[in-house]
Chains A and B, each alone.
Chain A
């Protein structure tokens, strides 16, 4: 509890005791009636002075219609009408409710922060005498060797220079299997060193390290507000003046009408009903619980290694109905193996493979890696001269002074090479030297273990259409599409074609449906930003993907996608429950109060009780797994 909250608690206790004291006096003594009315003012001012002050300041600053104004008017009105004890009690319960709400919100805020508490406090630097000095990670320069002891969190991204250990990446990825590292491996800040002592040479300053970027992203996520949140803000702006207007009408019109009709000018009753009406109408339950639900949903998702950049994306994800996948690295492992080598006449397999591998020796594309792996022997990169990457085609490279082409059939067509088409399923790399065809290499990718399962789950949770887009050739695409069971696929696409397909699918769907694109972030940035919701996978370390995507999966586990959709739906369901519940109860109580069936006690429940229940319901989002 903060100082302020403790103070409120004290005031609640003191004024409750005094109020009971006055009630007891009233029952046991026979002083003139006004004495009790004056005595009861003591607990009233103890518990309500801040509300009264804020209400007056509000009137002075032309900020009339807020909850302080509502409570002040209602209680002062009740006391003028002679319901002194009730007036004090309403104020007392209002303060208890406010305190409960603050405690609940504070508690969930803390548990979410704890969940995201991956900020390292210090970095160890070894001194000359062998002792360790703890320094602020912000002060560590790039290239410094830091020491990470067992049980400590890696503070800054870097490369292991000494030591072996297993790392716990759960805080970042939600993945419970530890990752083994040895000298030469990249390590990411935020992971916890499980057993061995590691010496790490930092490769980035602290503020650019993974952990800083993630914290920044998560902390800013509640700034991007969902439509539901903006709706509530607008709603509150119209709602409060409307309610005050109705209350005034309720206080004036019925008694005047009844009075003129000769049934007596019963102003007291109607003013009291109008005051009750005011207490009920406070919009706090909605205004508090909705951002809290989204915040909890985002927190719950991040515990599963799903980073959502804003409540608006969580809201959109709940309506996901079209999911478009990139193939390589998303549906498939992105680990390729050379499965067949088909050299042209007069060329040996080894020669073909070596040429292709050398041409691709600078590329980080998975296809290039598999070629290098298959070539087996150490490749001498100094033999390679100028390299030109042609997006969607392949590479043109100078090797030993010859012009080598390695890429797909379009590359061969583009340079007018006469080649023998290879009809095998898989990715085909054609190679040519100085315009002469060398042969083709067949490379196959394998599906991730859980791809089929994840796609089935997506169908089960109502995704209408799944589409695979790939730059690969028809045969390879058809084979993968067949295995995974996606609804449709489009092959042989350049990055620009992928954007065009997304545009087309965006037009085909209805306004309510949401299109998600899932990619691994390599070459996908334009598509990620064009889709309604762009999801980047395996984004640890890929800055471009983190920038472009709306939702970032920390590892490349495709099963996280149906999970993210489920979390989003559950979160939205809780939001809707709260909207319906809070507005529903309030409307019922408002009607009851207008007809005189609800007294001040009902009113306090409709305001404070509903708010506390809505907040408790909202905190359920925290528990989502």
Chain B
């Protein structure tokens, strides 16, 4: 399952960090962050509970990039 989320992140390097972080969260098969469109596209692993996984992604991202936002 794939889903796209709107995000807020204010520098390209930070967007890259969010992408790296999101990819390490369990339940995420592949995550891509586009700084230009301010969107995060997440492909979930088989059987993952998307809302719960995204909570984790948000928590992990805010750890590396305190100012970022993800619209869940």
Q: Which A residues contact B (CB, under 8 angstroms)?
A: 4, 53-54, 57, 61, 63, 66-67, 98, 102, 105, 109, 112, 219-220, 222-223, 225, 233, 236, 283-284, 287-288, 291-292, 295
Considering the complex, give the chain B residue whose CB is closest to the CB of A54: B66
Once bound together, how far apart are the Cα atoms of A105 and B37, in whole Å? 11
Partner of B36, one of A4, A53, A291: A291
14 contacts between A and B (CB under 8 A): A54-B66, A54-B67, A63-B17, A66-B13, A66-B14, A219-B4, A219-B39, A236-B16, A284-B11, A288-B12, A288-B13, A288-B35, A291-B35, A295-B36
A residues in contact with B34, CB < 8 Å: 222-223, 291
Contact (Cβ within 8 A) A61 B37: no
List of 8 A-B pairs having minimum Cβ-Cβ separation, nearest first: A295-B36, A222-B34, A288-B12, A223-B32, A287-B12, A287-B13, A61-B63, A63-B64
Partner of B16, one of A4, A54, A233: A233
Once bound together, how far apart are the Cα atoms of A102 and B8, in whole Å? 12
B residues in contact with A61, CB < 8 Å: 63-64
Considering the complex, give the chain B residue whose CB is closest to the CB of A60: B63
A residues in contact with B12, CB < 8 Å: 284, 287-288, 291-292
Once bound together, how far apart are the Cα atoms of A60 and B65, in whole Å? 12
CB of B10 within 8 Å of the partner chain: yes
B residues in contact with A112, CB < 8 Å: 36
Q: A102-B10, A284-B11, A284-B12 are in contact. Are A220 and B66 (CB under 8 A)?
A: no
Once bound together, how far apart are the Cα atoms of A54 and B14, in whole Å? 12
Once bound together, how far apart are the Cα atoms of A222 and B16, in whole Å? 13
Q: How far is the CB of A171 from chain B (nearest CB, A)?
A: 19
Chain B: residues with Cβ within 8 Å of the partner, total of 20
Q: Which B residues contact A (CB, under 8 angstroms)?
A: 4, 10-14, 16-17, 32, 34-39, 41, 63-64, 66-67
Partner of B41, one of A53, A223, A283: A223
B residues in contact with A288, CB < 8 Å: 11-13, 35
Contact (Cβ within 8 A) A220 B41: yes
Considering the complex, give the chain A residue whose CB is closest to the CB of B32: A223
A residues in contact with B37, CB < 8 Å: 109, 219, 222, 295
Once bound together, how far apart are the Cα atoms of A222 and B14, in whole Å? 16
Once bound together, how far apart are the Cα atoms of A220 and B39, in whole Å? 9
Considering the complex, give the chain A residue whose CB is closest to the CB of B34: A222
Once bound together, how far apart are the Cα atoms of A288 and B35, in whole Å? 9
Once bound together, how far apart are the Cα atoms of A98 and B17, in whole Å? 18
A residues in contact with B13, CB < 8 Å: 66-67, 236, 283-284, 287-288
Contact (Cβ within 8 A) B36 A287: no
Q: How far is the CB of B53 from chain A (nearest CB, A)?
A: 18
Once bound together, how far apart are the Cα atoms of A287 and B4, in whole Å? 23
Once bound together, how far apart are the Cα atoms of A481 and B63, in whole Å? 62
Considering the complex, give the chain A residue whose CB is closest to the CB of B64: A63
Q: How far is the CB of A319 from chain B (nearest CB, A)?
A: 23
Q: Please give 6 more A-B residue pairs, beta carbons under 8 A apart, in addition to A233-B16, A291-B12, A292-B36.
A: A61-B63, A98-B11, A219-B4, A284-B11, A284-B13, A288-B11
A residues in contact with B4, CB < 8 Å: 219
